Structure 1
Amino acid sequence: MQLLCPTDELSEGCSRGFTLAGQHLVAVRRNGRAHVYRNRCPHRGTRLEWEADRFLDSTGSLLQCAHHGALFLIESGECIQGPCLGHTLDALPCREDPQGLWVELEAL
């Protein structure tokens, strides 16, 4: 596992983009739990964000693709609306400890 960031750099209800070992990732914290996905929409393979660290819809409750508006559940990465309906974002195993948020890149 590789260190993605210190725990306090991913606040509740916030999303952040990262590049780690050449991989573009998105992390979001919801209900105290961090979720990490490959920053790649399953529809066209483009990055999700509107601008730096802007991955959430206007309600802050779903991940949203900036290019065609697809909406994804934060907890599972499942697309619930848009052209990739039923597909999922590539989830990465992650864990937290006192040092920070760790991610398993080999899962890509």
Structure 2
Amino acid sequence: MDTFIPVESLDRQSLCRLDDIPDGGATAVDASLADGDESLILLRRGDHVRGYLNVCPHAGRRLDYAPGKFLLKNETLICAVHGATFNRDDGLCIAGPCRGEHLRAVAVQVEAGEVKLAQEA
């Protein structure tokens, strides 16, 4: 079960257009969350987008190897620093130094072609 990061307010921020994320790919965006400004990973599959903090639970480093560029293989996301491998669908680390830990999920939704922060259900 996902534990979502709370959003800052009821005003749902637009993060990007759905078309800005390649289908099957990922991008990074900045968002204002309750704990401050954070980098988010947005992973797209068709019209569905999953959001996670762009922070590896192993060492607290960003997962991208260059801003907004991620290592994706099959159904996994790989940390560019130490190789931790995460399931795209639930953020579970299945290999590497933080096996068994999860990426921190951020609730997002697609509305009229825009990816926005969503209120926790």
How many residue pairs are counted as aligned between the two chains? 105
- Residue number in structure 1 paired with 2:115: 101
Q: Does the aligned pair in 2 maintain the 1:13–1:60 contact within 8 Å?
A: no
CA RMSD of aligned residues (A): 1.7
- Higher Rg of the two aligned structures: 2
SS in structure 2 of the partner of residue 34 of structure 1: strand
Structure 1 length-normalised TM:
0.87
What's 1:89 paired with?
103
Q: What does 1:15-54 correspond to in 2, within 5 Å?
A: 15-21=26-32, 22-54=37-69
- The 1-side partners of 2:116 and 2:88 are apart by 18
Equivalent residues of 1:80, 1:86 under 8 A apart: yes
Of 8, 15, 25, which aligns to 1:14? 25
Q: In 2 relative to 1, CA 13–4 (structure 1 residues): closer, same or farther, beyond 3 Å?
A: same
Paired amino acid for 1:72: F
The gaps in structure 2 that reach 5 residues or longer are: 1-11
Q: Is the 8 A contact 1:79 1:87 kept in 2?
A: yes
Identity, in percent, stands at: 32
> Which TM-score applies when normalising by structure 2?
0.78
3-state SS of 1:42 partner: coil
Assess if the C-alpha contact under 8 Å between 2:47 and 2:110 holds in 1. no
Using the TM superposition, give the Cα deviation of residue 103 of structure 1 relative to its aligned residue in structure 2, in angstroms.
1.4
Q: Does residue 55 in structure 1 map to residue 70 in structure 2?
A: yes
